[in-house]
C-alpha cells in the first residue's frame, strides 16, 4: 500500500499539500514573519541575479552592498520623514489651540456644538474605547516592526550563506522520505514562480500609485514631494491597505497646509487612487501576468482577501495555481492563440 501510494502522483502531492496547509495553520501566528522573510529573500535573490548579469561580482559582496543600501534608505526615510511628520503634528496642534484661544464670531457656533455634544453624550466611555483601540493598534504596530526586523535578518543570513543553505536543503532530496521533499520542492517552485509574478505586479502598482498620488499632491499644493513620494511608494507595496495607511499623515499635512478644504481634496484623491488600485490595476496586472481572465482574477482576490486578510491579496493567486497544478488544468495563453490566428 505504501508503494502504491508513492506511485500515485496525484494522491501523493495532494497529501503533501494538505500537510503543508496543516503546518502553516499551526504556525499561523508567525505567518507575517514567514511571508516577509520569503518576500525579502525573493527580492534579494532577483536583485543579485539581475546585477550579476552586468557585473560579475561575488554574491557575498553584492548581498552586503544591497542590504546596506536598504538599511540606509530606511534610516533616511524614518529620520527625515518622522521629523517632518512630527513638525506637522505640532503645527496642527498649535493651530487647533490658537483656534480655541482666539475664537472668532464664526467659531463660536462650532465651539458651542462641540460643548453640547460632550455634555449630551457619554464621551468618557467613548474615550476609553478609543484609547483601547489605539493601544491595540500600537501593539499590532510593534509586532509588525519586530516581524519586519526578524524577517530582514533571516533573509540576510540566507543570502550570506546561500550556496551552503541550498546544498543543505538539497540533502533532503536523497533521504528515506525523498518523495515528500521532492513534492515539496515541486510546490515550492510553483509558489516561487507565481509569487514572483505577484511581487512584480505589486511593485508596478506601487510605482503607478506613487506617480498619480504625487502629481495630485503637487496640484493640491503640497511641498516636500520627494519625501512624500518615498513614503507613498513604500506604503503602496502593502496591497490595497497601503493607500489607506497613507491617509493619516497626508490628512495631517493637508490640514496644516490649507485647512479643511485641502483635507477634503486629499481624501478624494486617496479614495480615487484606492478604487483604481483595488478594482482596476490589481485585477488587470494580475490577469496580464498570469494568463487568467480578469473575472477569475478579481474573484480570487476577493475570496482570498476575505479568508486570509491583506496577505490573501498576495498569496491568493499562487494558492489558486497550486490547485490548477494538482488538477492538471492547462491555462491557455490568449496572446499565443491570437498570434496563431
DSSP string, 254-319: HHHHH-HHHHHHHHHHHHHHHHHIIIIIHHHHHHHHH---HHHHHHHHHHHHHHHGGGHHHHHHHH
Q: Which three cell numbers stand for residue 268?
A: 478624494
235, pLDDT greater than 60: yes
Instruction: Render the burial of 196-232: b for 16+ CB within 10 Å, e for the rest.
Output: bbbbebbeebbebbbebbbebbeebebeeeebbbbbb
Q: What pLDDT, on a 0 to 100 scale, did the predictor assign at position 168? A: 92
Alpha carbons 235 and 220: distance in angstroms, whole number: 20
- When mean pLDDT is compared over 179-188, 263-272, 276-285, the highest value belongs to 179-188
Predicted confidence (pLDDT) per residue in 154-191, tens digit:
999 999 888 898 899 889 988 888 899 999 998 888 88
Is the distance from CB of 92 to CB of 252 less than 8 angstroms? yes
Q: Which three cell numbers stand for residue 29?
A: 501566528
Residue entry with cell 510553483: 190
CA distances from 171 to 36, 182, 187 (A): 26, 11, 18
Q: What pLDDT, on a 0 to 100 scale, did the predictor assign at position 315? A: 76
This prediction's pTM: 0.68
251, pLDDT greater than 60: yes
Long-range contacts of 170-178 (CB under 8 A, 24+ apart): none
Model confidence at 320, in pLDDT bands (50, 70, 90)? confident
Alpha carbons 240 and 236: distance in angstroms, whole number: 7
Q: Is the dihedral of CA 89, 91, 97, 103 positive or negative?
A: negative
Alpha carbons 167 and 146: distance in angstroms, whole number: 29
DSSP for 225-243, written as a single string = HHHHHHHHHHHHTSTTHHH
Instruction: Measure CA 11 to chain center.
Output: 34
Q: Which three cell numbers stand for residue 319?
A: 494558492
Is the distance from CB of 246 to CB of 235 less than 8 angstroms? yes
Predicted confidence (pLDDT) per residue in 133-158, tens digit:
555 655 666 777 888 889 999 999 99
Q: Which three cell numbers stand for residue 283?
A: 485585477
96, pLDDT greater than 70: no
Q: Which three cell numbers stand for residue 249?
A: 499623515
- When mean pLDDT is compared over 88-92, 115-119, 137-141, 256-260, the highest value belongs to 256-260
Residue entry with cell 490595497: 240
Three-state SS annotation for 186-207: HHHHHHHHHHHHHHHHHHHHHH
Q: What pLDDT, on a 0 to 100 scale, did the predictor assign at position 210? A: 86
Q: Which three cell numbers stand for residue 231?
A: 513614503
Average pLDDT in the chain: 76
256, pLDDT greater than 60: yes
Amino acid at each position: 500500500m505504501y508503494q502504491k501510494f508513492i506511485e500515485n502522483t496525484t494522491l501523493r502531492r495532494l497529501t503533501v499539500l494538505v500537510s503543508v496547509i496543516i503546518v502553516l495553520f499551526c504556525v499561523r501566528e508567525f505567518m507575517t514573519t514567514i511571508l516577509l522573510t520569503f518576500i525579502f529573500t525573493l527580492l534579494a535573490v532577483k536583485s543579485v541575479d539581475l546585477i550579476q548579469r552586468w557585473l560579475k561580482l561575488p554574491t557575498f559582496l553584492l548581498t552586503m552592498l544591497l542590504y546596506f543600501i536598504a538599511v540606509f534608505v530606511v534610516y533616511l526615510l524614518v529620520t527625515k520623514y518622522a521629523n517632518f511628520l512630527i513638525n506637522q503634528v505640532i503645527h496642527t496642534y498649535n493651530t487647533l489651540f490658537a483656534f480655541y484661544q482666539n475664537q472668532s464670531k464664526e467659531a463660536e457656533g462650532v465651539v458651542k456644538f462641540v460643548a453640547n455634544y460632550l455634555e449630551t453624550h457619554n464621551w468618557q466611555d467613548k474615550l476609553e474605547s478609543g484609547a483601547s483601540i489605539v493601544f491595540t493598534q500600537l501593539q499590532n504596530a510593534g509586532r509588525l516592526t519586530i516581524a519586519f526586523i526578524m524577517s530582514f535578518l533571516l533573509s540576510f543570513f540566507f543570502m550570506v550563506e546561500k550556496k551552503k543553505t541550498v546544498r543543505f536543503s538539497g540533502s533532503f532530496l536523497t533521504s528515506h522520505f525523498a518523495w515528500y521533499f521532492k513534492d515539496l520542492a515541486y510546490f515550492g517552485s510553483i509558489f516561487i514562480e507565481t509569487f514572483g509574478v505577484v511581487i512584480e505586479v505589486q511593485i508596478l502598482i506601487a510605482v503607478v500609485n506613487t506617480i498619480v498620488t504625487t502629481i495630485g499632491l503637487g496640484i493640491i499644493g503640497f511641498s516636500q514631494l520627494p519625501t512624500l513620494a518615498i513614503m507613498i511608494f513604500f506604503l503602496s507595496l502593502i496591497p490595497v491597505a497601503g493607500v489607506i495607511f497613507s491617509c493619516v499623515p497626508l490628512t495631517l499635512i493637508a490640514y496644516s497646509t490649507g485647512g479643511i478644504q485641502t483635507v477634503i481634496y486629499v481624501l478624494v484623491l486617496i479614495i480615487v487612487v484606492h478604487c483604481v488600485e483595488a478594482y482596476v490595476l490589481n485585477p488587470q496586472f494580475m490577469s496580464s501576468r498570469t494568463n487568467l481572465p480578469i473575472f477569475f482574477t478579481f474573484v480570487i482576490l476577493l475570496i482570498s482577501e476575505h479568508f486570509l486578510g491583506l496577505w490573501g491579496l498576495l498569496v491568493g493567486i499562487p494558492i489558486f495555481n497550486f490547485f490548477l497544478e494538482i488538477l492538471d488544468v492547462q491555462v491557455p495563453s490568449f496572446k499565443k492563440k491570437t498570434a496563431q490566428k
